[in-house]
Chains A and B, each alone.
Chain A
Amino acid sequence: MQQNICIIDDDPICVFGIKKLLKETNLFDTISTHANGLEAIQDFQKSIDKNKSLPSIIFLDINMPIMDGWEFLEEFRKISFKNREHVRIYIVSSSVDPRDLLKAKSIIEVDDYFIKPITNKAIQKAIENVNL
């Protein structure tokens, strides 16, 4: 089974960093990136239409233009449960605002909250949780 990973972040440096760490694991076939939530949702919709499965892991930033992380989560929930059942979502944000952490905890689709910079350990933890 093909394992996809998806990074949704508007900061190219961040994306670059996560990609570097993921490549070292050699576990994933494809790493897709999106600069905001809207791009990602539109891409997911296309995949579902083509009967392709969604990524197993999503690294999601919160602060993004056009559609931010929270809005993305709202849209994501509208996808039928069957299609998103196996998707793990990890928030990766530089926000240390306790209000953001609380909000993330209250959303069941979110599996964990990592504060930037994301570490090797965090990546390992995220991968272990996925049934590979």
Chain B
Amino acid sequence: MDTFLPEIKIDNDFIHNIPIPVAIVDKNLIFISHSHHWSVEHNLGKESITGAYFFDIIKSFPTELKTILEHCLLGNSSANEGKKFDLKNGENLWLKWKINPWLKVDGRLEGLIIVLENITDKKEINELVKDAQEVSRTGGWEVNLLNKTSRWTKMVNIIHEMPLDYVPRTFDENFAHFKEGEHRNKVLHAAKKAINAGIPWDEEVLMLTGTRKEIWVRTKGRVEHNNGKCIRLYGTCQDIDQQKRAELQYRDSVRLLTKAVTASQVGTWEYNLENGRTMWDDVNFDLHGIKKNNYEGSLYTNWKNSIHPDDVDRVKNEASLRYKTNEKGIVEYRVVLPDGTIRFLKSTVTFISEANSSIQKAIGISQDVTPEKLAEIKLKEFAKITMEQNNSLTNFAHMVSHDLRAHSTNLSVLTALLQDEKDENEKKQILEMLKKATNSLNSTVCNLNDVVLSTDTNITDKIVDVKLLEAIHNVQNNISTLFKEKKGFCDIDVNEKHSVKVVPAYLDSILLNLFTNSLKYCSSLRTPIIKISSKYKDNFLEFSFCDNGRGIDLQKFGANIFGMNKTFHRNKDARGVGLYIIKNQIEAMGGTINVSSEVDEGTTFIIRFKI
């Protein structure tokens, strides 16, 4: 071989320093010389390969390459910007080459000059970029401001639904695809700012595709300056139609929900059971009368302080029970607003656990139910009054029917007997009874009338100041006969200046009832003594009426003593109805009556009159 070398005249140092991967081989594909880049490019190390066979050195190269090299040895050139080879181990190999035959002046082939690059890495990155563009539907574009030409990557054409060979022919055509008006103006404005001030843009706008379809795109752009002059505009174009429409839809529904929540005055809140973090929306702050941006201490403390004092303990218990059991439900409570008004709130709570974590949250809504609550309270009051009145009416109806029936029955029996009776003496006796019966009927009607009057609450204009002591003396005089008969005795300790606000007739009726009851039901073992006293107490005059009579078994009759149920015996001095009447009269005048009694010891009535 040495004999050939002078003839070939190759400067090895020169070739070694050529900055591309180049090698020179002879006709038998034996290396004659190569550049340093060649060794680096093909991972050959520092050892010299001069004199070695091409495929001994680079064994991994595909056999197709051998075919190409052999073709070149016939005097042909070969060039490729990048060809993919499938290797036996399944990997890809990308090669880029330029091969020229090395010809002598006389046209004799001496060997080959090979420039061979392994561009596998570069190619694979490019493939990746291409894939990425397709997956993300992102394309690149540029406008050369010097010669006004544009370039688009294929993806930009695809997004625009334009033919793949289309490129904008003028500068303005680059913007013609954006929707006219707000959207196009936005991009034009951004481009102007980029050209003039170098500010990059990133906008989401609507555009019209080649098929006149409206889609959302994200356009990003920036500029390149050279010597203070803007020479290039470039950027990306991304199809974000699906995401954008979903986002807009979501925003719309959020806006709707917010509107609905705000309009319905429903407050929402969230409480993290693990770390105690609490979140409230604006409405919830309003409902509790707490200023969102101006409260001190924890939200929990503020919430607790806003609750009506009578409800705090109950609400705290109910809340902690719910947090313990995670049972959803409703807690109702009152809050006291800063101006002192009371608001009824209904809080509905439910529990959620976040996916893949043990974090438990309580979420809930609060509603102002004040009008409903007030209406409910009023309704309950009305229902109670109605029920009471209904009861009284039923009792009254039965009382009337019973008592009037008793007398009418007697009258009819007696008249029938009178008709059939022949005996004059008997007749006389029956007539006597008839007289009694009519008297009883009369007094019963009077009694019933009193009952009706006593339930009349419209008496305000009849109320006057009456000296209690005077009224007592009057009634005492009226029943002096009864006092004498029973040998009764009075111990009166009432200040003559004590006066009460009453209907005078009612006061007389009350006193008369108390006196006659005491005397009628006096004990046969003792002299009847009635002790009367009065004193002022809490804006009332408290009047005590105490006897030493037979007493009432309150355990047996306590519940009914002032009622109508057990009342009204035919004899007109029966106790029951009298108490019913005076209770009604006292209450109609705004007073109260209470009784205490021991059987065989006596009875004490405590009556409070308004003063």
A5-29 CB mask vs B (1 if < 8 Å, else 0) is 0000011111011001000000000
Known A20-B417, A94-B405, A95-B398; contact A65-B574, beta-carbon cutoff 8 A: yes
Distance in angstroms between the alpha carbons of A47 and B414 in the assembled complex: 33
Are the CB atoms of A63 and B569 closer together than 8 Å? yes
Separation of A96 and B399 alpha carbons in the complex (Å): 10
A116 touching B405 by the CB < 8 A rule? yes
Binding site for B on A (CB under 8 A): 10-14, 16-17, 20, 63-65, 68, 94-97, 116-117
7 intermolecular pairs with C-beta atoms under 8 Å apart = A14-B410, A14-B413, A16-B430, A17-B414, A65-B571, A97-B402, A117-B410
Known: A11-B570, A64-B569, A65-B569. A17 touches B417 (CB 8 A): yes
- Decide if A94 touches B406 in the complex (CB within 8 Å): yes
C-alpha spacing A97/B565, complex, angstroms: 11
B472 close to chain A: CB less than 8 A = no
- Minimal Cβ-Cβ distance residue in A for B426: A20
Whether the pair B413, A117 counts as a contact (CB closer than 8 A) is: yes
Q: Given A94-B406, A96-B401, decide whether A13 and B414 contact each other with a Cβ distance below 8 A.
A: yes
Interface residues of B in 422-469 (CB under 8 A from A): 430, 433, 436-437
Question: How far, in whole Å, are A14 and B436 apart by their CA atoms in the complex?
Answer: 12
Contacts from B to A (Cβ < 8 Å): 398, 401-402, 405-406, 409-410, 412-414, 417, 430, 433, 436-437, 566, 568-571, 574
Are B402 and A96 interface neighbours, CB within 8 A? yes
Partner of B405, one of A65, A68, A96: A96
- Minimum C-beta distance from A34 to chain B (A): 15
Q: A13 touching B433 by the CB < 8 A rule?
A: yes
- Min Cβ gap A90→B in Å is 16
Interchain CB contact (< 8 A) of A12 among B398, B401, B406, B433: B433
A20-B417, A65-B574 given as contacts; is B401 within 8 A of A10 (CB)? no
The residue on A at minimum CB distance from B395 is: A97
Q: How far is the CA of A68 from the CA of B99 in the complex (A)?
A: 137
With A63-B569, A65-B574 known to touch, is A17 a contact of B406 (CB < 8 Å)?
Answer: no
Inter-chain CA distance A116–B407, complex, in Å, is 10
- In the bound complex, CA of A94 to CA of B574 (Å): 17
Complex: A110 Cα to B398 Cα, angstroms = 22
In the complex the two chains form, is A95's CB within 8 Å of B570's CB?
A: no
Question: Please, how many angstroms separate the alpha-carbon atoms of A117 and B405 in the complex?
Answer: 9
**B409 near A10: Cβ-Cβ < 8 Å:** no
Q: With a 10 A CB-CB cut-off, give which of A13, A16, A95, A97 has the most chain B CB atoms.
A: A13
Given the known interface contacts A13-B410, A14-B410, the answer about A95 and B402 at a Cβ–Cβ threshold of 8 Å is: yes
Tell me the smallest distance from the CB of B552 to a CB of chain A, in Å: 12
Known A63-B402, A95-B398; contact A13-B413, beta-carbon cutoff 8 A: yes
CB closest chain-B residue, reference A9: B570
Contacts A17-B413, A94-B406 hold; do A10 and B571 have CB atoms under 8 A apart?
A: yes
**CB-CB < 8 A to A17: which residues of B?**
410, 413-414, 417
Query: In the complex, which residues of chain A have a beta carbon less than 8 angstroms from the beta carbon of B405?
Result: 94-96, 116
| Across-interface contacts of A97 in B (CB, < 8 A) | 398, 401-402
Residues of B contacting A94 with CB < 8 Å? Answer: 402, 405-406, 409
Question: Within 8 Å CB of B570, what residues of A?
Answer: 10-11, 63
Count chain A CB atoms within 10 A of each CB in B409, B566, B568, B571 and give the residue with the most.
B409
Distance in angstroms between the alpha carbons of A95 and B409 in the assembled complex: 11
What's the nearest-Cβ distance from chain B to residue A21, in Å? 10
Which residues of the partner chain A approach B414 to less than 8 Å between Cβ atoms? 13, 17
A14, B407: Cα distance in complex, Å: 10
Give every chain A residue within 8 A of B571 (Cβ-Cβ): 10, 65
Q: Tell me how far the C-beta of A84 lies from the nearest C-beta in chain B, rounded to whole angstroms.
A: 24
Instruction: Please tell me if the beta carbons of A11 and B406 are within 8 angstroms of each other in the complex.
Output: yes
- In order of increasing CB-CB distance, the 6 nearest A-B pairs are A94-B406, A13-B410, A17-B413, A94-B405, A117-B409, A116-B409
Whole-angstrom distance between the Cβ of B599 and the nearest chain A Cβ: 13
- Beta-carbon nearest neighbor of B398 in chain A: A97
**Knowing A20-B417, A65-B574 touch, does A11 contact B402 (C-beta < 8 A)?**
no
Closest to A98 in B: B398
Q: Which residues of A contact B401 (CB under 8 A)?
A: 96-97
Whole-angstrom CA separation of A64 from B464 in the bound complex? 39
| Assembled-state Cα–Cα distance A71/B424 (Å) | 40
Q: State the CA gap A68–B556 with chains docked (Å).
A: 14
- What chain A residues lie within 8 Å of B437 (beta carbons)? 13
Please give 7 more A-B residue pairs, beta carbons under 8 A apart, in addition to A96-B398, A97-B401.
Answer: A11-B570, A13-B413, A94-B402, A94-B406, A96-B402, A96-B405, A116-B405
Distance between A99 CB and nearest chain B CB, rounded to angstroms: 8
User: CA A68 – CA B437 in complex, angstroms?
Assistant: 21
Give the chain A neighbours of B436 by CB distance below 8 A: 12-13
A14 to B430, CA, bound (A): 12
Chain A nearest CB, measured from B447 CB (Å)? 14
Task: Select the residue from A14, A16, A68, A94 with max chain B CB neighbours within 10 A.
Answer: A94
Closest Cβ of chain B to A98, distance in Å, is 9
In angstroms, Cα B430 to Cα A95, docked, is: 24
CB of B258, distance to nearest CB on chain A (Å) = 61
CB distance from B5 to the nearest CB of A (A): 142
Nearest-neighbour CB distance to chain A for B425, whole angstroms, equals 14
Closest A residue to B573 using CB positions: A65
Contacts of A10 in B (CB 8 A): 569-571
| Contact between chains at A116 and B417 (CB < 8 Å) | no
Report the bound CA distance from A68 to B405 in whole Å: 18
Chain B residues with Cβ under 8 A from A117's Cβ?
409-410, 412-413
CA distance in complex: A68, B576 (Å): 13
* Complex CA distance for A92 and B412, rounded to whole angstroms: 16
Could you say which residues of chain A place their CB within 8 Å of the CB of B412?
117
A68 to B575, CA, bound (A): 13
Q: How far is the CA of A80 from the CA of B566 in the complex (A)?
A: 29
Most buried by A among B398, B433, B570: B570
> In the complex, what residues of A have CB within 8 A of residue B409's CB?
14, 94, 116-117
Residues on B with C-beta less than 8 A from A13 are: 410, 413-414, 433, 436-437
